[in-house]
Amino acid sequence: MTDTIISSASQEVVIGFDRPFAVIGERINPTGRKLLAEEMKNGDFSRVEADALAQVAAGATILDINAGIPLADEPAILAKTIQLVQALVDVPLCIDSSIIEALEAGLAVYKGKALLNSVTGEDESLDRVLPLVKKYGAAVVAISNDETGISQDINVRFEVAKKIVQRAADYGIPACDVVVDPLVMPVGAINTSGRQVMELVHRLRTELKVNTTCGASNFSFGLPNRNGVNCAFIACAVASGMTSAIINPMHPEVMLGVRGGNLMMGHDPECKDWIDAYRDRSAVGVGSRGGRTGGRRRSS
């Protein structure tokens, strides 16, 4: 079985086939959040700090950190954000940027073993990102597209993933440190996109023996009740063998899908996480006369 180990200075998280689904919190990302972008650009990280704490409290086991702000010093802002978040929470981080200088700036200040987001199958990306992964001993998200774009043929996407894993091995990076993103397309535009992802995840797990992740909210783009759709998608993805996803843990429906998937796959021993999250606490241990019984609550 494949385990991808990432860590902060004080906490280790294992993404793996027989592990609970890893929730990578997506909120610390200024894309589409004008107020957050403006605040980060001006050195105000109060919202970043609040989002970090809230996501961990909601169940995130890893936090994605992105500082992609137009006309801003992304490397400096990303490094500063990483330092602030690491001083605040113990969970490992996913360093997220399309700019190589920002990735290196983040890695240079990171304490622990980071997950780097991301490398593609394009030769230029492979030649620039993989040496950083090796230099800093990181793990990396591998996105299944290349110079030709995103193929609708899952066999082509599989071959791109295989190419990345092989090129990583050339740098001495083991397959366990490559977490493949099979690319989730909006189901409202491509009706078979869910089935495509499930089939591709199965192949990545059984043939390449790599862990997988995705930007799960892409699946519901353009649809009403997006959180409900994402809940169903996550539960199915867990059952198909996906081992992590970049999602918003602040949405209860999304975490319902995560916990339900873990429950169905036997990744929630004694159903402890499910019970802790959803039992009716007002009724626990209350006898017929309103007094306490001898029952004890589980610690959460």
pLDDT number for residue 286 = 42
Tell how far CA 123 is from the center of its chain. 24
**How much is the pTM?**
0.93
Predicted local distance difference test score (pLDDT) of residue 283:
58
Q: How far is CA 221 from CA 186, 216, 226, in A?
A: 6, 10, 7
- Cβ neighbour number for residue 74 with a 10 Å cutoff: 23
pLDDT at position 264 over 80: yes
Q: Span 3-283: which CATH code?
A: 3.20.20.20
Q: Which helix (H) or strand (E) holds 154?
A: helix 154-170
Tell me the C-alpha distance between 202 and 11, whole Å.
29
List pLDDT tens digits, range 109-154: 999 999 999 999 999 999 999 999 999 999 999 999 999 999 999 9
